[in-house]
Amino acid sequence: MTVPISYYLVLAAVLFSIGVASFLIKRNIITIFMSIELMLNAVNLTFVAFAHMWHQITGQIFVFFVMVVAAAEAAVGLAIIIAIFRTRRTLNVDQVNLLKN
Amino acid sequence: MQLALFIIFGLLAVAGAINFLLQRHPINSALSLIVVMMSLAVLYWSLGAEFLAAAQVIVYSGAVMVLFVFVVMLLNAGEEERTHGSRAAYFAGIPGATAIFCLLSFVFLTNGKAFGSTDLINHLTHTTNNIAEISQVLFRDLLLPFEVTSVLILVAILGAVVLARKEQ
């Protein structure tokens, strides 16, 4: 039994939408950052599906570079989160509002 | 068989993602995100990308998520509280995400014929293997970008050390 490529794309759309929803709903800065990773993973799945569809290896190379950049981004982002926690003593994004007033 | 693999691990990924959305505690969210990433690795393998499946397990579930779990434990993050801002986000977030999903799946399913379907058996009995193809492109055609990523990683390490260091 073969699986249509569009099923993989719909699965990626489901994961991406859940990532968007949790990015907007979550209030913890670490969980917000994790939902960005979820969205990146969903996009990677579409890249792999299209690479399979066209029988091209380039899509997989693209996913490889996305993984590298995501790893670097996670390291820097978590360092920023630690710095924010050190100065503001909170992880709630609603309380990080110095620029608001 | 491939359909069974897709259904099992696709449902597992969606269940993990929904659990990620519903859990209040960050460590539970992190663990369910690991489930999503592992099942995505199986789906990569079923699309004939063995190298990416291994890299997904090692880099994402192995390195990135361990970093997340470490930071959650280091900062002693507790359950998040629902505030006024998140109630506004509920009314914007759920319909917005549903709209994105409906639009994307409408486009994908109406053009489903043009995308074709997977042929894993044909792929697995192919003479060239996936890792050889990837290494040929990565180390010959794209050697300069590949080396530049090492500089990127170095800059990221230095930035992380500088940001997370205690100020004197």
Summarize pLDDT for B66-86 with one digit per residue, the tens: 999 999 999 988 887 777 767
- Which of B30, B49, B97 lies at the smallest CB-CB distance from A17? B97
State whether residue A90 sits within 8 Å of chain B by CB: no
A5 or B120, which is more confident?
A5
Quick check: A28 pLDDT over 80?
yes
Average pLDDT over residues B16-37: 94
Task: Tell me which chain B residue has its CA closest to the CA of residue A56.
Answer: B133
Summarize pLDDT for B107-134 with one digit per residue, the tens: 888 888 888 787 766 666 665 678 888 9
Summarize pLDDT for A54-97 with one digit per residue, the tens: 888 899 999 999 999 999 999 999 999 999 999 888 888 888 88
How buried is A40 (Cβ within 10 angstroms: 0-12 exposed, 13-18 middle, 19+ buried)?
Answer: buried
Q: How far is A41 from chain B (nearest CA, A)?
A: 8
- Which of B80, B97, B137 lies at the smallest CB-CB distance from A20? B97
| Per-residue pLDDT at B56 | 94
B28: left (phi over 0), alpha (psi -120 to 50) or beta: alpha
Domain spans, chain A: 28-93
Name chain A contacts of B134, Cβ cutoff 8 Å. Answer: 57, 60-61, 64
Q: How far is B93 from chain A (nearest CA, A)?
A: 5
DSSP secondary structure, B137-158, as one string? IIIIITHHHHHHHHHHHHHHHH
What share of chain A in percent tops pLDDT 70?
99
Summarize pLDDT for B150-167 with one digit per residue, the tens: 999 999 999 999 998 877
Does CATH place domain B1-80 in 1.20.120.1200? yes
Q: At what angle do helices A29-54 and B65-74 cross, to 10 degrees?
A: 180
**Cβ–Cβ under 8 Å, residues A79 and B160:** yes
| Mean pLDDT (chain B, rounded) | 88
ipTM of the complex: 0.92
Quick check: B64 pLDDT over 90?
yes
Average pLDDT over residues A29-40: 94
DSSP secondary structure, A56-91, as one string? -SHHHHHHHHHHHHHHHHHHHHHHHHHHHHHHH---
Domain spans, chain B: 1-80, 82-118, 127-168
Name chain A contacts of B149, Cβ cutoff 8 Å. Answer: 65, 68-69
| Per-residue pLDDT at A14 | 94
| Per-residue pLDDT at B121 | 62
Torsion of CA B6, B11, B14, B20, to 10 degrees: -130
Does CATH place domain A28-93 in 3.40.1260.10? no
**Cβ–Cβ under 8 Å, residues B160 and A75:** yes
Name chain B contacts of A78, Cβ cutoff 8 Å. Answer: 67-68, 71, 160, 164
Question: What is the rounded distance in angstroms from the CA atom of residue B7 to the CA atom of residue B112?
Answer: 18
What share of chain B in percent tops pLDDT 70?
93
| Range scoring the smallest mean pLDDT among A73-82, B26-35, B92-101 | B92-101
Contact across the interface for B108 and A13, Cβ inside 8 Å? yes
